[in-house]
Structure 1
Amino acid sequence: MMKDPTREPHRGWAPSVRSKLLIFLCAVSLLPLLLSSRMLVALGGRSARTFREMEVREGLQLAQGMLEASRERLLEGARAVAVWDDLAAYLRHPQPEWPQTSLEGWAPQSYKLDYLSLYDSQGQPVYCWSALPADVALPADSAFLDPDGPLSGLVSTPEHLFMAAAAEVRLDGTLLGRVVFGRQVNHRLLRELRGSREHDLAIYYGDRLLATTDTTHTLLELDPAEFFPNLVPHRETYLYYARKGDRLIGLQTLQNVQGLEVAALGWTTSRTPAGFLQEAIDRMLLSFGLPLIVLVLLAAGILGRWIERPIRRLSRTMEEVRRTGDLTCRVPDAGRDEIASMSRSFNQMLEQIAHQRDELLTFRTMILAMKEGVLIEDPGQQVIYMNPRMEELLGICFEPSGEGEEPFRLEGRITSKRVITEDERGFSTEEVEWTRPDSERVQALKTSGKLEDPSGKVTGILSTFVDVTERNELELELIQASRMAFLGVYSQGIIHNLNGPLNTIMGFASLLCKTQPDAEIPQRIRLDAQRMADLISSLGRRWRRTGESRLELLNLNEIIREELRFLEADLFFKHNVEKVIDLDPALPYLQGIYGDFSHSLLNLLINAIEALADSAVHRLTVRTRHTFQEIVVQIEDSGVGIRQEDMDQIFLPFFSTKRRDRKDGLPSGAGLGLPIARKILEPYGVLFSVRSEVRQGTCFTLHIPLKPGQYESVRHGEFGEVEL
């Protein structure tokens, strides 16, 4: 039976790290009981004053911390009120009743405020509330109105000291104003900070005692002039011994928001030196002596073998991986405790990273070798990567932008011509173009898709660019070659081959008419020959105009009529197709190249006629309409129609829904008629729309925009309904 390599081998009971620490702490906790007698003897001869000073210093630090915590609570309260939407609305459109109903009834009681002020974005006061007596002047809040000023601190007036905090009121990033909370530094505030009744606090401001919790009058009778000269330069805890009351007082300067020492915080206790000694002994009984330190060192050595050694092995392996990049390094994972489990997890992580690194290297090699440009953008459309082929297409040397540098973006550098397809996964393909720094014009097919993490969050956009500049040029050459082939085959050859025999027929017909003036047959021969000569002459003019590339005023009705007459050479079209021709009699002239519209309309008409070959109903409908903005041409057939799944591809070169290699004389398409028509009319801004239903027919609609000053109206009634 094979052994499962992923299954951990069974071992006996192994204590976890938590169990090891529990054993250690149980052993160490017995030490104070063994050393208590010796500690009492050692502490009996120590100076009580030393412990008294220690407590005063610690008490003063605690009082400072509580004063700082009170300031932080005040700042948090101001910030909590500053985010109110109602407050932002009030600062934008002040209403006198809102502060009384929504602010005064809640904020002062919740944060024990003595005053509250609101300022607009220009620093002008909007509202002020105060619970102080009328003879107590409020401090100036100018320090908090400075954008670079402090957010909280002490402010003062000549007679009083206040603790204040300010917060900005913003809405959608716009500064609307500021809210200021304030409390007077008085007896009530000190009673909140005192904590124990055995301790007393005092605030000295200027040359007097501003507030105190002392009831023995020791602090009341203390003259600040005795300690202020030594306190200000000391800048640390200053100890002052008051003989009256046997008090040791700890003093610390307090700075206002301008950074000036304006006051002093005092802390003292009413306990006797004997009380200090007793408390110091109790405190030392709870601490550790030299034997305990030795025991801790010994225990640390033991724990080092249990805990520190595997951690050091893990640390050395991590350092080696960081230094060398070798992901084959592994950490020994013997054991079943948490450290061994962490080592196994680390080894598995190295295996996953190595696998992902190999995949990334393969992916990077593929991207570097691709003939298509690859570009990655972050969700903010900032370019973070492009392969060498993309750099070549853009004609730049890409470097990721650093801090403070302008990010590289495609926006404004490339122009989108049209979206070709977009699938259900969100990948879109569009034709774009741009101009390189060397003035070379590049056309490309851009395919873009979103990059998502396992949670579905969009982390970037991946785009590929296929250079189709050469292909588009070949398409233009193919269009030109197709046009020239059409002109050569259908025009020049017919004219050349028919002119000679036709001249002979017309000559003999004229001779017969002279010798037999009353005969009917010679007259009919001469008239039909003349009609044929006119048709050949019209064909010659059409060929010459199609070959020209000059702008002229075009009448689309006239072009459609000429193309329909030309197509009557097809006997199927002439005798078997029902023609419904509805041309707008007031259709405006359009400025363009005759061959562009002639060739495009002919392609659409040929497609419609060929679609009728397999249909039971043979009907062709051609309509023209116009508005002030556009000319609309509709070519509709009752043919076999186009399947819905083929609609997105009918304008792609070489795509055709017609059957190929037909031997029965029916049409077989090469898939170039529609792409050529669309490409030719693209410079005119012509939009194609298609409506089709299988076995019902297809309707192609051309929307040709009209530009003011580039057309003239045809006289009403000049063209009407044409019957062929």
Structure 2
Amino acid sequence: MKKRKTELEKRIFELFFVITFFLVLTLTFIEWQLAKFGINQYEDLNIKSTLSELKIARTEMEMGKQDLLNNLETDTVIIDALQKGDKNLINDHLNRNFKSENIEKLIICNKQREYIFGEQWELLNKYLSQIYRDISKENSGIFIGNFGNRLFQITYNPIFISNEVKELLGVLILIEKFDMANLKLSSDSEVSLISYDKTLSNNAIPGNLTEYISDINDLIESMTEKKLEQTIKKFNINNAAGIKIFYDLANEPTGIFIISYKRYVNQFVQQSILIFILILLAFTLVMISLLGNWFSKTILIPVRNISNNMQNISENPSKLEPIKKQYSGVLGDMVTSFNTMNIALSRYGQTLREYKELTDNLDTGIFWLNQNFDVILFNPSFVKIMEMDENQINHQNLSKLMGLEEKQFAKIYNAPLTFPNIKIYPNKNQKFVALNIRAVKHDESTKFFGSIIDVSKEIRESEARKSLELELIKSNKLADIGKKIEGIVHNINSPLNTVLGYAQLLKKDLKDNTDLDRIIEAGKNIAQTVKGLLTKVKQSNISADRPIDINEMITQELEFCKHNLFFKHYVTLTTDFQKSLPNVTASYGDLSLCTANIINNAIQAMKDCVQKELTIRTYEEDKMIYIKITDTGEGIPEYNLNKIFETYFSTKIGKSGTGFGLGLAITKSIIEKYDGKIEVESKQDFGSTFTLILPQTKG
């Protein structure tokens, strides 16, 4: 414990040192950046000042020449001479009225681009077409041209005559040298004004920049590619340069103006900042030592005492002893808050234990789900119902555990979901459970709370009651039919025997009478039918299970169906019976009733159909006997497929006036009693297929 506390104190001191150091370092960095920004701004201002001076000097050169061009542009004598094409008139007028130094570099061309006044220049010929293209838009202009490694400032103004539509008469062009002598800069910076060359030589730039000639050439190349006019470049802590590039009318570089700048102030400030950093670090170490000692006495020791009490509480939370309040200020408030928190936690813990005891002793399974419907919390009853280990349940998706589809949970956000009867198979044992789930908003997320109840006992009791009701209905129905048939057979046999006896007596006397032969044959057929019916009734009344020949049983049922005139005359029957089909152990009456129900329903469904075909097939597969009965009747709507086996549900109600909804319910109950099942496939207006599946006789 003591070692742990010592390490805590050490870590706190180290943390304090690191925080202080990084705070000082951050302040130093900010100071450095601010100083650097200020220095850069100061240097940029000085370099831009020289560039501005260059701009002013150039503007002053332009203004004097522009005044001259404006006067010449409106001179009526020149306008009249241009209209007449009189060169002599222009020469005489200019030499007589203007000073020679003003017009010695003047050139006048007419609208046909012919020289009217002044000497032809190869430099001017290079730009003349571009000048005329510009003045056609009524523009005047000025640019720097490059000729023979010398720079010239070229100023031009168009001359128009004002009619209804402005007509171009010619252009005034003034050319003068552009060099340092004409600019007359007063800056102390070392500068160079040179004609443009893709690769500058050392003697073309200020001497202190010669070692950076490669950087300068790269910078100028980049500027010309981007058509930049000026920029500032800092090479190191000692040297910087400002560069301005002049472009002609074709936007091609013609001249370069380079300013060299010595960065003495920057070097001084950097050294000052270094000294400041050293002083600040020394001051920091002293402050850390003093503040560390104060922090240990006023904060660390009291916190250590509080920590000891907290440790005691954490080791034995059931035994709550409040910390004595022996500190004032913030530490005193901390102790009070801690005591209050412990009391609240103790009460909360007690409440949780009570709730846990309550949920652990419920027969109902309780569980929580996350947003993905994974089980994240559950009580012992949930584990008991699912018959699984906790690890098998934890973070498993509820839909997989219950055999549900995820889309069934879509409506849970709007209302609680209830599944009253879900069939599950924990450890291959069938169970019925009732499931209820509701959404619960928790902070910014949503969780789901649910409960599960084992209702297997109730479901089985309910199913047993239904089975008993169906058995009673079936037994009463069969008994009633048997009594009626026995009475009918008895009533038919007596007169039938009399008819046959007299017919045979008459035959002895009238041996050639064919009508008597037909009467005797018909009588024997009736007797055979009555005998078969009596046999069926007797077999149906035998409730004991015995091996049944399915093919023979179906054949007998079809014989009785032939007494149905609709079936006999309108239905096409197709049978496909597997030879040597294994027997099924069951009550003959049960299977006979099931088969008769399906066949009669099929015949009834085809009465109003154009195509009337009944197909019955039997076969064996995986030790199961299949009886497949297919009709081409009206079919069953999809929304009724899951209802047709319910008691008292019938699709015949409202159509033929017959049907109580018991036939298929009884059939399903009987088939399931023998561990079989019944399946149905149907498409409305195309017909249905019912398949009875029964286990074959063992052995």
Using structure 2 for the length normalisation, give the TM-score: 0.42
**Length-normalised TM-score, structure 1:** 0.40
Q: Write 1 or 2 for the structure with the bigger share of helix.
A: 2
Higher relative contact order (CA 8 A, sep 6+): 1
